[in-house]
Structure 1
């Protein structure tokens, strides 16, 4: 009789341990994939604005260091000029890679390292008066004051 009671307690402990381990794994996976989900969403939002020619809105999603590289007005004018005038396109399609978490990353040698950052590759496909072509670029999404922001690589 004692052996059976001992066996039942042992089985109960094993089941309880497995349930707790599964819950911890689920919480860890949720937290990790939640960041990746937000990173992908901000990149999608940025390129959706770019597709629609809403460059003022896409500029707002830049990291503060990016905003120092060009004013909003200059960015709006440049993007519209390059894509519409030079390329002869109205819009583009794009694909994004799966976010890759980096330990740390610097936008340029002069900038400080960012720890909470993800790298994605975007491929923009244009169909214009000069034919069809792709632009492939690595972009980086990092947190600044609890907000995910877009960065480009200026390292040489």
Structure 2
């Protein structure tokens, strides 16, 4: 089934269950680098389904998905979607941050990534959002530095 807004023959995100592993137990993922070079790798079935559901990839066939963004395109997409506004302090942001850090199992998908200013991104590090925000509230000097950036 082709979804509206998806290239002809491409399955919609809700069709992620169509994906089946190859004999290796993995799914093939294809994409392009920032320089336009094609690449291919094999990934876990559940990760492939997640990437399709979160609209970071489309299904090519039952064993293959294709990433929709190069790294540069993905960063630009997130920054423009969030209007270059830091998710945490509301200031100008030009980096992307994972809400659930990659170190804790988060993936680079549109739903898990937000625009962040460099200071908030560095301060958050590999903490999840709740830990980061509670530490900012407990440390008034950190909260005041975030407030100063808003001005």
TM-score (norm 2): 0.22
More helix by share: 1
More strand by share: 1
Q: 1 or 2 for the larger relative contact order (CA 8 Å, sep ≥6)?
A: 1
